[in-house]
Chain A
Amino acid sequence: MAAAMPLALLVLLLLGPRGWCLAEPPRDSLREELVVTPLPSGDVAATFQFRTRWDSELQRKGVSHYRLFPKALGQLISKYSLRELHLSFTQGFWRTRYWGPPFLQAPSGAELWVWFQDTVTDVDKSWKELSNVLSGIFCASLNFIDSTNTVTPTASFKPLGLANDTDHYFLRYAVLPREVVCTENLTPWKKLLPCSSKAGLSVLLKADRLFHTSYHSQAVHIRPVCRNARCTSISWELRQTLSVVFDAFITGQGKKDWSLFRMFSRTLTEPCPLASESRVYVDITSYNQDNETLEVNPPPTTTYQDIILGTRKTYAIYDLLDTAMINNSRNLNIQLKWKRPPENGYIHYQPAQDRLQPHLLEMLIQLPANSVTKVSIQFERALLKWTEYTPDPNHGFYVSPSVLSALVPSVVAAKPVDWEESPLFNSLFPVSDGSNYFVRLYTEPLLVNLPTPDFSMPYNVICLTCTVVAVCYGSFYNLLTRTFHIEEPRTGGLAKRLANLIRRARGVPPL
């Protein structure tokens, strides 16, 4: 019996790990997807999403085994006690008027917003350190984020994932409108992908083609999500997204035809072996307005219909089989109807402090139908301290884009779907019910010219001349306003004469 016990233990030890492997599915999964959307203007938008989900408590220290989830980001989450992280790099501007609403919105430049756990004591310090670390990871100038461009919005930017409370003290938001996005930002982003750019959809991510577009936006979103339907525990979700808009006018010589190869100079050959799902969606919604027929080649295996951004859309689904050649064109028409009862307006204004914090103006406004609302802010141009000018002061100074977030009532009611099952492009923003959908719009950044001294030789000359003139002015003024008279030395009165007599007697020089 005594001998049997160790033996049994040994068997258990041998069986244990193996049994674990067999019994439980891998705790992390990867889904990848590409949505190709011909835009109303004739351009083509391509949206990549790579979603890594990990059923693990990253908050606890000591997680050391990483499989699909990138270790660099995982360690960030545990070290800085992050609850959510949203980082986007964008070059260009999404022209909503011509391209319709985007799946993934981002302002021009770099945007970072982070929700910290409520266990964090010094949020500003963590924020500073975090932005510096991210700056290193993504080769971007995020280290320029400091208190002068960080705000804590109180009404917008709610957490997108699981959240028990929304105390705005733990939110930080910053935009760097001047950030230029290029290959050096794309490469580290691609390295975070489990298949890198070796297989699957990511082979299409050729830098020379992606940066040949009208619009380029890449982002990283990290948030906690429910692990199961009852939400007993949480999982971590990492979404890497990339949207590009190809200019049909330039690439297609005015025609609206496109193909994957023409856009990316690559075709899809094999799926990423690590991915549990790898799909290409092509928007084939037909509106039959211009009597134009569309032809998808090869014909799709299945189609998917859903209410996307308030409209019923049809997508051809390719489970990563072959390239597609599609010839189509359509119009997207969204009607916005405002039916909600009027709400009380909310205005939150936090004035700037020079060189410490920027202005923050948040307004909750109800827009009447068919109206134009103009929000304008007056500002004064001021001279900066001369050390505060950038090396190119005449370029101007950027004002960050403003943000418009709205829940827009949907024209067609969407049926609530299990968002674990629905395509990725439809499930970033949590939907409360099917009657409305969430949009977030960004305006263009504003380039403002401040009064700039001439930092060249004439400037010094002017300074010197002004100094000389100022010095001379005083003397001349003095001379011109005063009259000079020569005063003859006079003999003085009787008392003085007497005093002088006494002085002479004493041998002291007279007065």
Chain B
Amino acid sequence: MGLLSDPVRRRALARLVLRLNAPLCVLSYVAGIAWFLALVFPPLTQRTYMSENAMGSTMVEEQFAGGDRARAFARDFAAHRKKSGALPVAWLERTMRSVGLEVYTQSFSRKLPFPDETHERYMVSGTNVYGILRAPRAASTESLVLTVPCGSDSTNSQAVGLLLALAAHFRGQIYWAKDIIFLVTEHDLLGTEAWLEAYHDVNVTGMQSSPLQGRAGAIQAAVALELSSDVVTSLDVAVEGLNGQLPNLDLLNLFQTFCQKGGLLCTLQGKLQPQDWTSLDGPLQGLQTLLLMVLRQASGRPHGSHGLFLRYRVEALTLRGINSFRQYKYDLVAVGKALEGMFRKLNHLLERLHQSFFLYLLPALSRFVSIGLYMPAAGFLLLVLGLKALELWMQLHEAEVGLEEPGGAPGPSVPLPPSQGVGLASLVAPLLISQAMGLALYVLPVLGQHVATQHFPVAEAEAVVLTLLAIYAAGLALPHNTHRVVSTQAPDRGWMALKLVALIYLALQLGCIALTNFSLGFLLATTMVPAAALAKPHGPRTLYAALLVLTSPAATLLGSLFLWRELQEAPLSLAEGWQLFLAALAQGVLEHHTYGALLFPLLSLGLYPCWLLFWNVLFWK
């Protein structure tokens, strides 16, 4: 502190910051990216390990042998489902009761804000069926959940079959200390959301549902299962939940333990585990997985019905059976044994899972990067914004001093406020206008869909997406108007003050996002920081404008889609990419309204207005 409060040294330091600002910014940005890329190399990525004592040392011998039974259940279920065209509720109730569960149903209905064209649904009503296995001599204070989401198409029958066969097997055992809820939901995630809201007696998304008759205390953990074939070649695990929430790492470790024990082939993000981490191949393969995870987490979508459980602090993950063209195939018994083992170990839990990490990145199933190691990457990127802001602050300050000194009659106690006051007043208009644009972007598309469909030949979903794009593009035209409203004497000071505010605003937003959802924060920082740092009304303006447009939130989304498909080894053509982009926009808005995903309001109310400020700076006259 002494260094900074000594005026002479302080001035020297300020000069250093001013003179070396550009190289420092470049260095910091490069360091951030390099740090992120380095995360996949062994000193930074560590092997996962089980932290929870209750699940660690206890041995479990799996005895599940109901493969034939599971297949028979699955065949019956598929037949009944085909016959009735919906979830065969009566059959499920009867079957669950016959294997000795307490069975309840829950009906729900939901009108989506606009038709969902990806899943082809608008007015949704369905029924969830769940059976509770009551643990003997327990007071129903804790429970575990095994859930199978059933969509409108007839997939997941095998998962229902396996669920029923497991229920029958579990019912015959006496060691259960927690109740087990076997849940089959209709309309996949909508059903899960309805059930979870009713279970916790809250209503956050406007879902209408009947109250639950049977409850089983606080849910400790949940596993969602998706299987569509009698045999699988590998099991894929999904961890990313709503708004980038992740389950406790111990749950993933548990799954991995049983993968190894049962000799199952398990994948993460559809990628196999690299074996060799000493050479370059392993880390490079890990980088692909890591990037895929970052993209998925940044999207904030629930990737499987487990994602909705996480909001209620229920640790959950989704297991997907993949049937590809590999040679070796596993039948339902192998999958069932892995599930049995997981449930038996979860049954041992004395406290809810809390020992291991909640914030982590996964370059492979058995490797993780902890929060302490990945945060510096985002920190370096945000440092660029800080340095730029500092530079602007000092320039503004020096300009003030420079203005005042030739003016004469300068007492040391002459107050600065008049000049500052003018600077701040000139900022009010652009700030308000850009925030208003954000608000319009958030509210108008859904609100104005009916007006749009009346006047234009488009469907509701199209109307929403097109309105979204129109308002987004309209924001770019606005800055030319704003500066006329504002009149300042010192033109340079005006844009500098605006940029300073915009930089601090952006840094704060990105910092907060990176703390809760690192992937999203990092992705946005990577794209938005360079353009934000460069934007100024002098120099090659067209170049800056192009850069700014290319790094706007919408362009980032488009770019992420291409990168995602590239990493999945299914590259997109331009037309496909555009279609996917439009679908993703509609999904983003829809998920905000149906599940409470926060990406859409975050972009429209926070980052888009902030980005408009930089656009404003660029076209400042």
Contacts and interface: CB of A to CB of B under 8 A. Distances in A.
A213 B136 contact: yes
Interface string B104-147: 00000000000000000000000000000010111111100000
Interface in B189-243: 201, 215, 217-218
B218 A449 contact: yes
Given A95-B134, A214-B136, A393-B351, A479 B142 contact: no
A231 interface: no
Nearest to A42: B100
B137 A211 contact: yes
A92 B137 contact: yes
Contact of B7 (A211, A445, A449, A485): A485
B347 to A, nearest CB: 14
A395 B54 CA distance: 12
B136 A447 contact: no
Nearest to A480: B393
A449 B351 CA distance: 10
A447 B412 CA distance: 65
A485 B412 contact: yes
Contacts of B201: 376
Contact of A479 (B5, B215, B416): B5
A93 interface: yes
Contacts of B140: 93, 444
Given A109-B139, A216-B137, A395 B10 contact: no
B354 interface: yes
A249 B98 CA distance: 10
A475 interface: yes
A392 B416 CA distance: 58
Contacts of B100: 249, 254
B4 interface: yes
Interface string B233-256: 000000000000000000000000
Interface residues on A, range: 35 or more
B51 to A, nearest CB: 9
Interface string B160-177: 000000000001111000
A484 interface: yes
Given A109-B139, A447-B217, A395 B313 contact: no
B352 interface: yes
B171 A249 contact: yes
B1 interface: yes
Nearest to A456: B355
A229 interface: no
Given A92-B137, A215-B137, A247-B136, A392 B350 contact: yes
B102 interface: yes
B7 A484 contact: yes
B139 A484 contact: no
Interface in B556-606: none
Contacts of B218: 396, 447-449
A458 B102 CA distance: 43
A63 B141 CA distance: 45
Nearest to B401: A483
B137 A177 contact: no
Contact of B350 (A91, A213, A395): A395
Contacts of B10: 484
Interface string A450-479: 001010100000000000000000010001
B470 to A, nearest CB: 42
B142 A447 contact: yes
B139 A177 contact: yes
Interface string A396-419: 101001000000000000000000
B352 A214 contact: no
Given A395-B351, A396-B352, A91 B137 contact: yes
A212 B1 contact: no
A440 to B, nearest CB: 17
Contacts of B142: 447
A214 B141 contact: no
Contacts of B7: 484-486
Given A393-B351, A487-B412, A212 B174 contact: yes
A433 to B, nearest CB: 34
Contacts of B139: 91-93, 108-109, 177, 401, 444-445
Nearest to B98: A254
A207 to B, nearest CB: 13
B136 A93 contact: no
Given A249-B171, A475-B1, A447 B137 contact: no
A346 to B, nearest CB: 26
A144 interface: no
B134 A214 contact: yes
Interface string A234-265: 00000000000001011000100000000000
Given A394-B351, A395-B352, A98 B102 contact: yes
A393 B351 CA distance: 8
A163 interface: no
A135 to B, nearest CB: 21
Contacts of A211: 137
A7 interface: no
A393 B141 CA distance: 15
Nearest to B171: A249
A92 B141 contact: no
Contacts of B138: 91-93
A281 B397 CA distance: 96
B202 to A, nearest CB: 12
Between B7, B10, B138, B142, the greatest number of chain A beta carbons within 10 A of the residue's beta carbon is seen for: B138
Contacts of B172: 249-250
A392 B102 contact: no
A446 interface: yes
Nearest to A487: B412
A395 B141 CA distance: 11
Interface in B514-540: none
Contacts of A109: 139
A347 B138 CA distance: 32
A455 B527 CA distance: 38
Contacts of B102: 95, 98
A449 B355 CA distance: 16
Given A392-B350, A394-B352, A486-B7, A479 B136 contact: no
Nearest to A212: B174
A185 to B, nearest CB: 13
Given A213-B136, A213-B137, A392-B351, A250 B174 contact: yes
Most buried by A among B5, B139, B142, B173: B139
Nearest to B349: A395
B350 A479 contact: no
A249 B168 CA distance: 11
A211 B218 CA distance: 24
Contacts of B351: 392-396
Nearest to A94: B139
B121 to A, nearest CB: 31
A212 B176 CA distance: 12
Nearest to A91: B137
Contacts of B397: 483
Contacts of A395: 350-352
A213 B172 CA distance: 13
Contacts of B4: 475, 479
Given A98-B102, A215-B137, A446-B141, 10 more contacts: A91-B137, A91-B139, A212-B174, A216-B137, A250-B172, A446-B217, A447-B141, A449-B313, A479-B4, A486-B7
10 contacts: A92-B137, A93-B140, A177-B139, A211-B137, A212-B174, A213-B136, A214-B137, A250-B174, A376-B201, A445-B139
Interface of A: 91-93, 95, 98, 108-109, 177, 211-216, 247, 249-250, 254, 376, 392-396, 398, 401, 444-449, 452, 454, 456, 475, 479, 483-487
Interface of B: 1, 4-5, 7, 10, 100, 102, 134, 136-142, 171-174, 201, 215, 217-218, 313, 350-352, 354-355, 397, 412, 416
Return the 7 tightest CB-CB contacts between A and B, nearest first. Answer: A108-B139, A394-B351, A92-B137, A214-B136, A447-B141, A395-B351, A394-B354
